[in-house]
Structure 1
Amino acid sequence: MRRETSIDSEWFEALYKDGGDPWHFATSPYEREKYDHTLASLPHDRFGSVLEVGCANGVLTQRLAPRCDRLLGVDVSPTALAAATERCTGLTNVTLEQRRLPEEAPPGPFDLILLSEVVYYWDSDDLKRLAEYLTGAMPSGGHLLLVHWLGDTDYPKSGDAAVEELRIALATNVSVVVEERREQYRLDLWRRC
């Protein structure tokens, strides 16, 4: 049965405290292939300012960092952020912060915003607020990259429903650049108009 409201920070913190790497970001072949695809889909070789929402334990953050002048990774779990901090030690262009979006969204602008496996955790009200934030946080020509699992969950939205609802909320503020489906996930790249 689907949750009706956005998933709270405590749920994520409990997962990381109990399991360390609850989705096996560091060891899963699915995650590795998805990260390879994510990085290969980026529209530029390098970005000035990047926001990674839900950076978790920093596995993708570490891989994305060489392509960014400045990379801000945010997550709600202090335990996940501690692991990300350890993993990203020495990456001087990476900043990690505990934030819950959309209410604690960092000021932009960002040339790229990455929403990987996070949009389906929000309810419709939060997705509308997120769309308002994204509209102001990306300059014209900036990009939004979304990657979401397509399997069954008890999250507020399915991967498809979350992405489609966010797209509708963003309306004419973004245009679709890439829309791809793999067996287990979808990848969407949008450009800020």
Structure 2
Amino acid sequence: MAKSLEAGYFDKLYAGDPDPWKFTTSAYEDAKYSATLAALLRKRYASAVEIGCSIGVLTERLAARCDHLLGLDVAQAALDAAAKRCAALPHVEFALSTLPATPPPGTFDLIMLSEIIYYFDRDGVAAMARAVAGMARAGADVMLVHWLGPTPDYPLDGETAVTAFLDAATAGARGATMVAQDRTPEYRLDVLRFPAG
């Protein structure tokens, strides 16, 4: 079975193309970002984290709904581009990610995982679900948005990866509850909420 992708994989991608997934020009990405923001359960979040923020295109749009937003990524080149894009947003900050091994300090009431779960193998997905649970404030929302098409370079496809994450995140005494789901032919959108107390 393929192993979780290492940071070097993404460093190589950004070295070859500063926008390897065409986030700034893709009609698919633009429509998906609009749907993602429309699916948020609250008008505003006090503290949010976007895991796998890449070059900050979604980050910039999500920032309007957050008092504080932390963008995380494994690739420094992506973080540099994201910081430049969001330079006029003082409530947005960025940090190099070592998730799931080392979560960032603090807890959050929104945790965004957009197009990243399939970069992990099954053990990595389970570890990410545990890390997310540790980062979640009481009553926190977790949003997952993932491509359903072929992922030949990744350890898992979108369906398998998200299903594994949901199974892990909803298990146990502090397990999250599924509160919203949507599906298009191209992607699925899943929203979980952790218990309030």
Q: Shorter-chain TM-score: which interval?
A: over 0.9
User: Which SS does the other structure have where 2:162 is aligned?
Assistant: helix
Is 1:54 matched with 2:52? yes
- Asked if 1:43 is matched to 2:45, the reply is no
The CA distance in 2 between the partners of 1:31 and 1:57, in whole Å, is 13
Q: Structure 2 CA distance, aligned partners of 1:183 and 1:100?
A: 32
CA distance in 1, matches of 2:134, 2:82: 27
Give the letter aligned to residue 157 of structure 2. S
Equivalence for 2:87:
89
What are the Cα deviations for residues 32-80 of structure 1, in whole angstroms up to 9, with x where unaligned? 0000000000011110000100100000001111111110000011111
Structure 1 contact 108–136 (Cα < 8 Å) conserved:
no
Supply the distance in 2 between the matched residues of 1:118 and 1:166 (Cα, whole angstroms).
Answer: 11
Give the Cα separation in 1 of the matches to 2:167 and 2:89. 36
Residue 64 (structure 2) aligned to one of 63, 66, 75:
66
Corresponding residue for residue 75 of structure 1:
73
Provide structure 1 residue ranges, at least 5 long, that are not aligned to the other structure.
none
Q: Distance in 1 between matches of 2:65 and 2:116?
A: 22
Following TM superposition, the consecutive aligned residue runs of length 4 or more in structure 1 with deviations greater than 3 angstroms are: none
Indicate if the aligned counterparts of 1:9 and 1:100 stay in contact, CA closer than 8 A.
Answer: no
Overall identity of the aligned pairs, in %: 45
Tell me the CA shift for residue 139 of structure 1: 2.0
Segments of 5+ residues of structure 2 without an aligned counterpart are: none
Superposition CA RMSD, Å = 1.0
Corresponding residue of 1:147? 145
- Aligned residue identity for 2:145: V
What SS does the aligned partner of 1:140 have?
A: strand
Match of 1:12 in 2: 10
Question: Separation in 1 of the partners of 2:75 and 2:54?
Answer: 8
Task: Name the counterpart of 2:184.
Answer: 182
For residue 111 of structure 2, give the secondary structure of its aligned residue in structure 1: strand
Q: Structure 2-normalised TM-score?
A: 0.94
Q: Which amino acid counterpart does residue 106 of structure 2 have in structure 1?
A: G
* AA of the residue aligned to 2:140: G
